[in-house]
Structure 1
Amino acid sequence: MSKEVVIIDYGMGNLHSVTKAIAAVGGKPIITADKEVIAKTEKIILPGVGAFGDCMANLHKSGLVPLIMELLNSGKPFLGICLGMQVLFEGSDEAPGVEGLGYFKGQVKYLQTSHKIPHMGWNKLSLKNASPLLDEAEGEFVYFVHSFHCEPEDKSLITAVCDYGMEVTASVGKGNVQAFQFHPEKSSRAGLSLLKKFVEM
């Protein structure tokens, strides 16, 4: 089993933190935008911080969208983190009219809560549906920074939620494709445990 993990570099993402975390759990991180390298690597991470519209613009500009769609449907382990999770959906309140990758049916919605926006800091995971990465994560605290969350049409895709004055989608998954709204690379021991499971998939 290869422990090489491609971290897709499309100009948006906390690449250093993710790279450091993958290396810390025994993975071999490769930061690249090279399509050939991405295509031949067995595990893929799509990171992201920033705005939905900018993210999709950068992905289209880099010419990576067809390859990412191919990878999502390839059976290879694929992990979306934060904005990298949101763009797997069809669209976002943050960027009306901008189409996401649409791998998951549903929309990214502004957090409708009386709590402070953005949702920033540690919050506790409550597991919903089975995930190969989250089976031991019930009650773990992980780190969030976001103002929008994903609302899949198929609620069975939701693998974990947290409470922030409303039920917030913390993660989704379907087969080889898993995605976290929180930042595992900033989530201390709990986050490293999740990334280790991904490296070992």
Structure 2
Amino acid sequence: MSKRGLLVQPRVVVVDYGVGNRFSIIGGLRRAGATVTLSRRPEDIRNADGIVLPGVGSFPAAMRIMEEAGIVDLVVDAVKEGRPLLGICLGMQLLFEESVEWGGSRGLGLLPGRVVQLPTWRKPHMAWTRVWRVGDSKLLKSIDYGEYFYFAHSFYVDTRGEHVKGYAVHSGFRFPAVVEKHPVYGTQFHPEKSGHTGLKVLRNWFSVVEEAVRR
């Protein structure tokens, strides 16, 4: 039930900032039951009930495209209004304050932390890897502790705090894999490439969107 008292299907926008894997994410969200649009138009961001920042690409390039499209402040405003935001891989990294990639770039600043390279002898990390839940997690609800997810990245977020809800270990190096501080959510892994378990993560996030719409 929406705020207007009408039964509606929540609208999800996958932000189009030119990175790869957009269509896999859209397909995964649709299988999770969402009505999805790929867009960078300000009016679509303003009208979205949930927003997804996809992965695979360059942090500075993604931020530049969003700034040129005039949607950085709109994404931040959406979070302030309580509309759920999901960042996937690169999208999760964009949630943080800054990245060192390609000379450095500021991020959205929604969570505290800095994006840095994985240790040289451990990158890139492209593998199915266990994710270990920390405390309660909406994204990992009803998912086994230590379940496998697919990762593909050379950078990680150096961050600590209660917003870290899951971590992974690659070649002995531990890094954040799931972050949550409602309405901000993120996964360093790719749920859309992680089979049925990844689909559960997308469904869990979409349930958060549905709950926000009903309020």
**TM-score range with shorter-chain normalisation?**
over 0.9
Report deviation, 1:113: 6.3
Native 8 Å contact 2:60 2:104 kept in 1: no
**What is the alpha-carbon distance in structure 1 between the residues aligned to residue 121 and residue 192 of structure 2?**
28
Q: Which runs of 5+ in 1 are unaligned?
A: none
Match of 1:162 in 2: 168
Q: Which has the larger radius of gyration?
A: 2
Q: Which amino acid aligns with 1:99?
A: R
The answer to whether 1:82 aligns with 2:89 is yes
Aligned residues between the structures: 199
Deviations 1:51-93 (A, max 9, x none): 1111111111111111011112221111011111111111112
Report deviation, 1:100: 1.2
The answer to whether 1:175 aligns with 2:187 is no
Q: Which amino acid aligns with 1:66?
A: D
Match of 1:8 in 2: 15
Task: Report the TM-score, using the length of structure 2 for normalisation.
Answer: 0.87
Native 8 Å contact 1:48 1:81 kept in 2: yes
Native 8 Å contact 1:129 1:158 kept in 2: no
Describe the SS at the equivalent of 1:55.
helix
Match of 1:199 in 2: 206
Describe the SS at the equivalent of 2:196.
helix
Match of 2:129 in 1: 123
Describe the SS at the equivalent of 2:27.
helix
Describe the SS at the equivalent of 1:133.
coil
Q: How does 1:39-188 map to 2 (within 5 A)?
A: 39-112=46-119, 114-115=121-122, 117-137=123-143, 138-152=145-159, 154-164=160-170, 165-188=172-195
The answer to whether 1:22 aligns with 2:29 is yes
* Structure with a larger share of its residues in helix: 2
**What is the alpha-carbon distance in structure 2 between the residues aligned to residue 91 and residue 150 of structure 1?**
9
Deviations 1:17-51 (A, max 9, x none): 01111111211111112211221121111113111
**What is the alpha-carbon distance in structure 1 between the residues aligned to residue 185 and residue 29 of structure 2?**
16
Describe the SS at the equivalent of 1:95.
helix
Native 8 Å contact 2:99 2:116 kept in 1: yes
Native 8 Å contact 2:45 2:71 kept in 1: no
**What is the alpha-carbon distance in structure 2 between the residues aligned to residue 31 and residue 69 of structure 1?**
18
Q: Which runs of 5+ in 2 are unaligned?
A: 2-8, 209-215
Q: Which amino acid aligns with 2:162?
A: S
Q: Percent identity?
A: 38
Describe the SS at the equivalent of 1:155.
coil
Task: Report the TM-score, using the length of structure 1 for normalisation.
Answer: 0.92
Describe the SS at the equivalent of 2:63.
helix
**What is the alpha-carbon distance in structure 2 between the residues aligned to residue 48 and residue 142 of structure 1?**
15
